[in-house]
Amino acid sequence: MDNITRIKELKDRILYHNQCYYVQDFPEISDGEYDLLMQELMDLEAGNPGLVTPDSPSQRVGSPPLESFVPMVHRIPLLSIDNAMDQGGIKGFHARIVRWLEKSKIMYCCEPKFDGLAVELVYEKGLLVHGGTRGDGLKGEDVTPNLRTIRSIPLRLDRHAVPDLFEVRGEVVMYKDAFTRLNERRAEEGRALFANPRNAAAGSLRQLDSGITAQRSLVFFAYGVSEASMLGSVSQVDIMKRLKPLGFKVNPLIKGCHGLDQVLAFIDYVGTKRDTLAYDIDGVVIKVDAIASQEMLGTKARSPRWMIAYKFPPLQATTVLEDILFQVGRTGVVTPVAVLTPVNLAGVMVSRASLHNARDIVRKDIRTGDRVILQRAGDVIPEVVGPVLSKRSGNEKPFEMDTICPECGSDLKQDGVAWRCMNISCPAILKQGIYHFASKGAMDIEGLGKGIVDTMVSQGILHDVSDIYGFGYDDLIKLDGFAARSSAKLLEAIDRSRDTDLGRFIYALGIPHLGEVTAHTAAGHFRTLDAFMAADMEQLKAVPGIGLEIAASITGFFADPRNRKVIKGLMDKGVSISNLPGDVTGVRPLEGKSLCLTGSLESMSRSVAKTHIESLGGRVVGSVSKSLDWLVAGEKPGSKFAKAQSLGVKIMYEDAFTQILKGE
């Protein structure tokens, strides 16, 4: 194919994907693939300058504003940033800067590259009068009322600290947890899901009704001003320092780096932090720090010469969906699982991914044989975002839900978006219910792992969890893989687990939808197992964290005589639940638990948090160890977070934490 034809083809495809991405907020290809198209076009145009047309996507950034918004013309254009895909790109950038500035010691300001959308805020005499998206860099959309709903955007600044006309630039992002909550809510309402936090942020900001924006938690990180002279700054680091006291959110990772080595170390450091951050970043932006140097270097047509973006490997990839399997979970929910042609996703080979539920697959029209977009966010299981419709051959097989349990063959029952196996003796449900019962946060029976449970269930010596407490040495020793010592050890662990507390016991029962934290809250509230079992819907809903769905699940669970029989069996075999110490009328859901705090909590100071924890019976410790019960993680958690993750310590985010506190 000749260059002219290829350039035209690339331009058309990029234009199309730009529309999908920027206008519809629903991309069809991964960022990595889009970057490759753009790179190819830019390379071809660089070699054939005569073929560059003014309408080439390389000549503009983003896409035109939606017609329904009033345009906002940027007084000074918001440019783009050149990308470096690897270390070599950064080294080349540094070498150019050294050459152009004719000095060897260069100071850089290094910043995370936020994966959100660029916004400009205009203040007149200290008052926020306009705010708009970047659009094509020259003209964006005026979304002032929407921006006003974002709490991290100051509506008024110290009138005397800023010039009469003051323009701040930065990025609007949606935090990962807010994104997950938003999509969960949308799934419940049967509405289309956002592909990623950036699309959710864009979709939320570009709402004609700012009331909707107000319900979405968006965050604004300031990363610059339109002209450094507005703050009288001599460096980018200084601009950042001055924006903070004005009331802007300035990212704490931003750092001045001396020379190339420190820049490369910063990139590595931020790369290791990427997964633990509350928001998505897709790289690091490296800016020559001195404003005088920036001015000497100047700008090219679409990007400044003094700045470069190092792009991290994308957390999205595409691959072929080879098959869809069905997996039975602990509560009987049968979930579809994607079997994929193995693909490298941000450094990890992935061959299985979550497909959520049948309705989601149908809604997204994901078919076996499709090329699909895969995504990994943080440390969560990779998920299939959706099919790449343009790659369809017509031979793909539309999805059909299996309505028969793959493990026991019983008919599945539809329950909301889920399909459930209702057979209480389904071996898959039984096994997983037992793993859960024995797990660390539940009865904590060391040594009763998956392999052993599978063997015991298959050999017919384990029919329900109460059987665990009826085992004798003779039962164990005859099992495959058991010797005298291992049998004795397991019996000891089983025996130790007999004395437990109410929170653990309730959690161990595996009541659908009832999570660990709420199980402990409920324990603190009801104090005894009898009271909990007897509670009606209204009494249950009075417990923080228990809503209609969980309350119905609990009453449904205890209404089943089979479940009551298992509980009675456990009691008869000597399981004993210790009474909760303290005032019988007081609710102490954190009784006996050790908690450690990391990061900053939005709703309270650390000392207030500590007081609350102690008043609820918990103990606050300073460091993370294996025996820690919970790490309470606020915003920007420190090294304790990674340590807790590596030790398998449970992490509680602010939402769950405040829910417990509200139960006071």
Question: Which spans of this chain sit near ligand IVH (rule: CB under 6 A)?
Answer: 78-81, 111, 113-114, 118, 134, 171, 223-224, 285, 304, 307, 309
CA separation for the pair 569, 466 (Å, rounded): 6
The structure tokens listed for 585 are 């009328």
CB 560 within 8 A of CB 568: no
Catalytic site residue from 11, 105, 113, 440:
113
Nearest to 345 by CA among 320, 369, 375, 371: 375
- Name residue 91's amino acid: K
Q: How far is the CB of 619 from ligand IVH (least distance, A)?
A: 40
Q: Which amino acid is residue 138, in one-letter code?
A: L
The owner of tokens 């049968």 is 334
Which residue, chain included where needed, has tokens 């079997």? Answer: 339
Rounded CA separation 192/24 (Å) = 12
Least CB distance to ligand IVH at residue 280 (A): 11
Is 300 one of the annotated active-site residues of the chain?
A: no
Whether 656 contacts 517, CB under 8 Å: yes
Residue type, 659: Q
Question: Quick one: three-class SS letters along 302-329?
Answer: CCECCEEEEECCCCEEEEEEEEEEEEEC
Which residue is it, tokens 């309505």? Answer: 403
Q: Taking Cα atoms as reference points, which of 661, 651, 664 lies closest to residue 275?
A: 651
Q: Are 313 and 346 in contact (CB under 8 A)?
A: yes
Residue 91 or 169: which CB sits closer to ligand IVH? Answer: 169
CB of 399 to ligand IVH, least distance (A): 36
CB-wise, 79 or 374, nearer to ligand IVH?
A: 79
Q: Which of 289, 194, 158, 180 is nearest to 234 (CA)?
A: 289
Per DSSP, 623 falls in state S
As a whole number of Å, the CA-based R_g of the chain is 29
Question: Quick count: other Cβ atoms within 10 Å of Cβ 209?
Answer: 9
> What's the rounded Cα separation, in Å, for the pair 614 and 657?
13
Nearer to ligand IVH, 307 or 595 (CB): 307
Tell me how far, at minimum, the Cβ of 533 lies from ligand IVH, in Å. 53
For ligand IVH, the closer CB: 172 or 540: 172
- Closest separation between CB of residue 117 and ligand IVH, Å? 7
> Using CB atoms within 10 A of its CB, is residue 143 exposed (0-12), middle (13-18) or buried (19+)?
buried
Sign of the CA dihedral running 298, 299, 305, 307: positive
Q: Which is nearer to ligand IVH, 284 or 457 (CB)?
A: 284
Least Å distance, CB 135 to ligand IVH, is 11
Distance of alpha carbon 64 from alpha carbon 42, whole angstroms: 20
Rank residues 203 and 433 by Cβ distance to ligand IVH and give the closer one: 203
**307 or 511: whose CB is closer to ligand IVH?**
307
Question: Residue 23 gets which letter from DSSP?
Answer: I
Return the SS3 of 511: coil
- Quick one: how far is CA 277 from the chain centroid? 9
Phi, psi of 239 (to 5 degrees): -60, -45
Could you tell me if 315 and 376 are in contact, meaning their C-beta atoms sit under 8 angstroms apart? Answer: yes
> Min. distance of Cβ 128 from ligand IVH in angstroms?
19
CA distance 595 to 618: 7
Phi, psi of 253 (to 5 degrees): -75, -20
Contacts of 218 (CB under 8 A, 6+ apart): 149, 150, 172, 173, 174, 201, 204, 205
The residue (of 226 and 357) whose beta carbon lies closer to ligand IVH is 226
Q: Which of these, 190, 191, 147, lies nearest to 172 by C-alpha position? A: 147
**Which residue minimizes CB distance to ligand IVH?**
118
Least spacing, CB of residue 374 vs ligand IVH, in Å:
23
Nearest approach, Cβ of residue 17 and ligand IVH (Å): 16
Q: How far is the CB of 13 from ligand IVH (least distance, A)?
A: 20
CA distance 492 to 485: 11
Residue with Cβ nearer ligand IVH (230 or 401): 230
Q: Which residue number, 61 or 628, has a Cβ lying nearer to ligand IVH?
A: 61
DSSP code for 389: G
Of 81 and 168, which has the nearer Cβ to ligand IVH?
A: 81
Closer Cβ to ligand IVH, 81 or 291, answer by number: 81
d(CA 52, CA 50): 6
Q: State whether residue 204 is helix, strand or coil.
A: helix
Q: How far is the CB of 119 from ligand IVH (least distance, A)?
A: 8
How near is the Cβ of 250 to ligand IVH at its closest, in Å?
10
Helix (H) or strand (E) holding 123: strand 117-124
Cα distances (angstroms) measured from residue 342 to each of 33, 314, 337, 606: 17, 16, 14, 45
Q: Which residues are catalytic?
A: 113
